[in-house]
Structure 1
Amino acid sequence: MKLILFNKPFDVMCQFSAHPTRPTLADYLSIPGIYPAGRLDADSEGLILLTDDGKLQHTISHPDHKQPKTYLVQVEGKPDAAALERLRQPMDLGDFITQPSVVKHIQEPQWLWPRNPPIRHREEIPTSWLCMILSEGKNRQVRRMTAAAGLPTLRLVRSSIGNFSLETHPLLPGEWQEVSM
């Protein structure tokens, strides 16, 4: 059984099949028979777990198993106590209601790599960093949550899934490492 930790770069599609305009996982990983356990949008970056074991893939990615996922989120603006509390509570996003989450205002992590290309910079609008821990991961959920709280997402990095973390397994964008279970 193989378990691969991969730091997905910005603008890479989380699939092995070819894409007409963007790079895919196949441009970085040539290990036969592995599949991603979950996804990240092309405009998000960070940790992806890949495996050749279907049962493990299901355990990692299925919401019934509630693997906590940690996201480092650079947002536009400065969060106040009300915005942070709104993000922590179940939030109605129209097509679903989120589970409660852990949300903290943090300093930019020192170990984080610069994004390529850089985020937009506006002198008159400050940015802040949040650490968000979710037990689910629906399509564009973090971006939708921060937008609903008045803090649009500028950069989104998944830093950990369960016990696996880019902080303890430092990988630069595009790098991967096989780990044992």
Structure 2
Amino acid sequence: MEAYKTEHRHFIIFKPFGYLSQFASNDSKQQSKKFLGRLHDFPEGIMAIGRLDEASEGLLLLTTNGKMSAHINSQKVDKEYYAQVDGDITEAAIAQLQTGVDIRVEGEMYSTKPCKAFKLESIPVLPKRAKKIRDDRHGPTSWVSITLNEGKFRQVRKMTSVVGFPTLRLVRVRVGGIHINTMDAGEVIEVTEFDL
């Protein structure tokens, strides 16, 4: 992708658990929610490129350039997620994820596109989550990597649930060529461009 170099500002952040992928709300019901503006003094006009739901964590790109945001969203850039699932995920379930499953999106059935999915052999090194995940006394868990270039609402969670292994923790670790590497939850890095 062609790099964007303008007067606009761009940020890479690690969205923590419990935060909304927005900066404020006029909705009185959301006044107690945590917004991204708590993490950094972002410039006016900042927006998230794509979203992570409140319970999801990880890599989020922010920009003041609406055209860039639309361009990245329209390019179907790969997004990789690590999902901790309830149970020891099977090869059959992984194969289902890879070929696509039927999930409900806005009340309609939707068939997910084929994707990359595999079981992680070891627990990934990630920042501690603000809210504890249940421990192994309640049964085994396992981790799976899922890479998508589409982004339906709560898609990964719906996909793992359909194949019988509900998601307990979901972390986006990569968008295109940008990886969280050793970023900590809540960390904000300003960049001159997004190298996707």
TM range (shorter): over 0.9
Q: Which moved more, 1:50-59 or 1:141-150?
A: 50-59
- Residue of structure 2 equivalent to 1:25: 36
Q: CA deviation at 1:130?
A: 0.4
**TM-score for both structures, normalised by structure 1:** 0.92
- Residue of structure 1 equivalent to 2:171: 157
- Residue of structure 2 equivalent to 1:102: 116
- Residue of structure 1 equivalent to 2:72: 60
Q: CA deviation at 1:114?
A: 1.4
Q: CA deviation at 1:61?
A: 2.2
**Residue pairs, 1:110-149, within 5 angstroms:** 110=125, 112-149=126-163
1:46 correspondence with 2:47: no
Unaligned runs of 5+ in 1: none
Equivalences, count: 176
**For the aligned residues, what is the CA RMSD?**
1.2
Q: CA deviation at 1:84?
A: 0.4
Q: CA deviation at 1:74?
A: 0.2
* Residue aligned with 1:93, SS: strand
**TM-score for both structures, normalised by structure 2:** 0.86
1:85 correspondence with 2:95: yes
Structure 1 runs (4+) deviating above 4 angstroms are none
Q: Paired residue for 1:75, among 85, 95, 105? A: 85
Q: Work out the CA distance in 2 between the residues paired with 1:137 and 1:119.
A: 25
Percent identity among equivalent residues? 38
1:13 correspondence with 2:20: yes
* Residue aligned with 1:154, SS: strand
Q: CA deviation at 1:21?
A: 2.1
Q: Work out the CA distance in 2 between the residues paired with 1:47 and 1:27.
A: 16
* Residue aligned with 1:79, SS: coil
